[in-house]
Structure formats: structure tokens, C-alpha cells
């Protein structure tokens, strides 16, 4: 296993434990004979959320993946949610793309900024600089350990009222936000987001319906959908507990680009399909952890 394999494996194993929909969807796919038991699922991309403050944020977390050969690609801006994001292309096609977003903390109210900084100020230098990136176990440990003290429920609630993204990151940190099942290479009957959504709903999974269940790019070549995040029992400071949003699962269909439409199906590879992301799709997918969706 390469170092990148170790890191991705560690992320996925925590994620599967935290998000019961992941094993449940895989089991449902086996049940429906969409895949065989033990088959790899094509992972379109994984996503992280970060705090845009000194020593942290995209510029810190991205160092890990740049070190493993990922390439930084397009920038996206979400004015209403006060977020910036980039996507990263993998070193080779068997690895997922990565989407990293960051909260524009300086755009929040004075009170929210103060709460966030009371935690993130515990980080006084870029923590990624202190780890040996060639040591997969060290990176895995870093991604799943806390950089700041356990938040109080009161702070979590105050942040939530202004930015549900801020509250999510204060508690969930670098836990994987989602992985994404590529549907376009699945068998007929399940190889579009529209068909796959029908299958998911038949099996009882709840889909994010912000802006409609299917998020479609203006070129019609990137279609996405996602489950609504499951609630997790969170342990706050002073032994307070509360059920809060954890992570979710996404589904993506990347259509073959017009210039490759005549290629025989068995010659179609990743490079022949729509690349990148789409700000308007993403804007609605973020809401998979928002109470407007989890409270439905
Ligand atoms: C990321 C939402 C955006 C996509 O594929 O466009 C996204 C998040 O919820 O952190 O995943
Ligand atoms: Ni995504």
C-alpha cells in the first residue's frame, strides 16, 4: 500500500463507522445485484471542511494531498454560505478527486469570530508542518485527532445560528464529510443519478432536496445528488450531549463530453467525461448537513 492508500483507507474506515448509510447503501447495492459482494465502488471524490483562520484552512490541509501528487484545480466561491473551495485532481485515475472547502471566518459576525478563534487560537503554527507526510499512520492519526479543545454545546449552538458549516467543523473537524459513488459506470438501470435516486428512495434512503433532488450543471454533464446527513450523538464539554449532523453520501454522474460521444463504451475513460465541480450544485449539496434538510 502507498502512503496515500493508507491515508484514504483510514479516512474511509472512520467514515463507514460514523455514517451507517454507507454500509447500508453498499448492502442494498449487493442485494439489488448492482455490484457483487467485495467489489470496489468507484469513488468520484471525497470532501473536507476547514476553518479559514491563520495556520489552518485550505492552505494547511492541502499540503498533505499536494505531497501525494494531487494537483490544485479550480476555485469556487459561495457568497451566501461564506465559503471558498478548491478541487484537486488525483495523481492517477484510481484515486478519488478531493474537494476542500473553507469558512471565510473574517466574514462572520464579531461574536462568531470570537468563538471560533477561542478554539483555533490554540493552534499556534501550521500543524501539518509538524507531521512526517511520508508516514501514513502519522497522517491518519493527525486527521482524526483534535487540534482544539472539545467545544461547549452553548458555543456550538451560537455558531449554528449563524453558520451551520462553522458549527459542523468546530465539532467534526477533518472527519470525512462525504465520499461519492460514481454511478455512470454501474450497470444499465442504475447508471444515471435519476435512476440511482429511484433505487435509493425505494430502499428508504432520504435524499437532499435543496434545489431539487438532482443538481445539474448548466452544461448538463455533471449531475449530483446526496443523502441527508445522519445524526450522530455528540459529546460536548462538561459531559453535555446532543444529536448533531454527521456526514453523508453523494452520487455523481459525469457524462461523456460531446467530442467523445462516438467512442465505443468500452473505451470511455475518466478523461472523456465532464471534469471538475459546479458551484451551483455544490451550494445545495452543502445543505446535506443543514437543519433545513436533517429536520425534514
Ligand atoms: C461539500 C459540498 C459540495 C460537491 O461535490 O460539489 C460538494 C460539503 O458539504 O462540504 O461536495
Ligand atoms: Ni461532493
Q: How far apart are CA 202 and CA 170, in angstroms?
A: 35
Is 285's C-beta closer than 6 angstroms to any atom of ligand 1?
yes
Name the DSSP letter for residue 92: S
CA 146–ligand 1 middle distance (angstroms): 22
Q: What is the pTM of this model?
A: 0.98
Q: What is the pLDDT of residues 51-71, one digit of tens each?
A: 999 999 999 999 999 999 999
pLDDT at residue number 127:
98
CA 204–ligand 1 middle distance (angstroms): 23
178 Cβ contact partners less than 8 Å away, ≥ 6 residues apart: 46, 47, 226, 247, 248, 249, 250, 288
Is domain 3-294 in CATH 3.10.180.50, yes or no?
A: yes
Distances (CA, A) of 7 to 11, 74, 98, 113, 134: 6, 24, 13, 31, 10
Segment 222-233 mean pLDDT = 97
Query: Which one, of 179, 197, 181, 177, lies nearest residue 189 by Cα?
Result: 197
Query: Which one, of 246, 231, 240, lies nearest residue 150 by Cα?
Result: 240
Q: Report the 10 Å Cβ neighbour count for 193.
A: 21
Taken in order 214, 217, 223, 226, the sign of the CA dihedral is negative
Query: Which one, of 214, 196, 179, 174, lies nearest residue 19 by Cα?
Result: 179
Return the ligand 1 atom nearest residue 282 CA.
6
> Model ipTM?
0.99
Is 177's C-beta closer than 6 angstroms to any atom of ligand 1?
yes
Where do the domains of the chain lie?
Answer: 3-294
pLDDT band at 286 (very low <50, low <70, confident <90, very high): very high
pLDDT band at 197 (very low <50, low <70, confident <90, very high): very high
Are 96 and 117 contacting, i.e. CB atoms less than 8 angstroms apart? no
Name the residue of 57, 82, 101 whose CB sits within 8 Å of the most ligand 1 atoms, as the mutation to test its pocket.
101
CA 101–ligand 1 middle distance (angstroms): 8
Is 99's C-beta closer than 6 angstroms to any atom of ligand 1?
yes
Segment 71-85 mean pLDDT = 98
Are 206 and 296 contacting, i.e. CB atoms less than 8 angstroms apart? yes
Segment 81-110 mean pLDDT = 98
Q: What is the pLDDT of residues 151-172, one digit of tens each?
A: 999 999 999 999 999 999 999 9
- Percent pLDDT > 90 in the chain is 99
Name the DSSP letter for residue 186: S
Q: How far apart are CA 188 and CA 75, in angstroms?
A: 34
Q: What is the pLDDT of residues 122-132, one digit of tens each?
A: 999 999 999 99
Is 87's C-beta closer than 6 angstroms to any atom of ligand 1?
no
Q: How far apart are CA 135 and CA 9, in angstroms?
A: 14
CA 239–ligand 1 middle distance (angstroms): 31
Q: Report the 10 Å Cβ neighbour count for 248.
A: 25
Grouping H, G, I as helix, E, B as strand and the rest as coil, residue 53 is coil
Name the DSSP letter for residue 44: E
Amino acid at each position: 500500500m502507498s502512503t496515500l492508500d493508507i491515508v484514504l483507507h483510514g479516512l474511509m474506515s472512520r467514515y463507514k463507522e460514523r455514517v451507517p448509510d454507507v454500509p447500508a447503501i453498499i448492502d442494498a447495492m449487493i442485494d439489488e445485484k448492482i455490484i457483487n459482494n467485495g467489489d470496489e465502488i468507484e469513488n468520484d471524490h471525497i470532501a473536507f471542511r476547514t476553518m479559514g483562520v491563520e495556520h489552518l484552512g485550505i492552505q494547511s490541509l492541502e499540503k498533505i494531498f499536494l505531497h501525494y501528487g494531487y494537483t490544485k484545480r479550480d476555485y469556487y466561491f459561495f457568497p451566501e454560505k461564506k465559503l471558498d473551495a478548491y478541487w484537486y485532481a488525483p495523481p492517477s485515475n484510481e484515486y478519488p478527486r478531493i474537494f476542500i472547502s473553507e469558512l471565510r471566518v473574517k466574514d462572520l459576525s464579531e461574536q462568531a469570530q470570537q468563538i471560533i478563534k477561542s478554539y483555533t487560537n490554540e493552534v499556534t503554527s501550521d500543524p501539518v508542518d509538524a507531521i512526517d507526510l511520508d508516514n501514513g499512520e502519522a497522517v491518519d492519526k493527525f486527521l482524526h485527532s483534535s487540534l482544539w479543545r472539545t467545544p461547549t454545546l452553548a458555543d456550538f449552538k451560537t455558531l449554528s445560528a449563524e453558520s451551520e458549516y462553522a458549527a459542523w467543523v468546530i465539532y467534526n473537524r477533518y472527519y470525512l464529510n462525504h465520499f461519492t459513488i460514481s454511478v455512470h459506470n454501474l450497470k444499465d438501470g442504475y447508471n444515471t443519478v435519476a435512476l440511482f435516486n429511484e433505487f435509493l428512495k425505494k430502499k428508504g434512503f432520504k435524499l437532499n432536496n435543496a434545489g431539487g433532488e438532482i443538481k445539474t450543471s448548466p452544461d448538463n454533464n455533471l449531475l449530483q445528488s446526496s443523502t441527508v446527513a445522519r445524526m450522530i450523538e455528540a459529546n460536548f464539554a462538561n459531559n453535555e450531549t446532543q444529536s448533531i449532523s454527521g456526514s453523508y453520501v453523494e452520487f455523481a454522474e459525469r457524462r461523456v463530453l460531446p467530442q467523445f460521444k462516438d467512442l465505443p463504451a468500452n473505451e470511455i475513460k475518466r478523461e472523456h467525461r465532464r471534469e471538475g465541480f459546479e458551484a451551483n450544485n455544490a451550494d445545495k449539496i452543502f445543505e446535506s448537513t443543514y437543519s433545513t434538510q436533517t429536520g425534514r
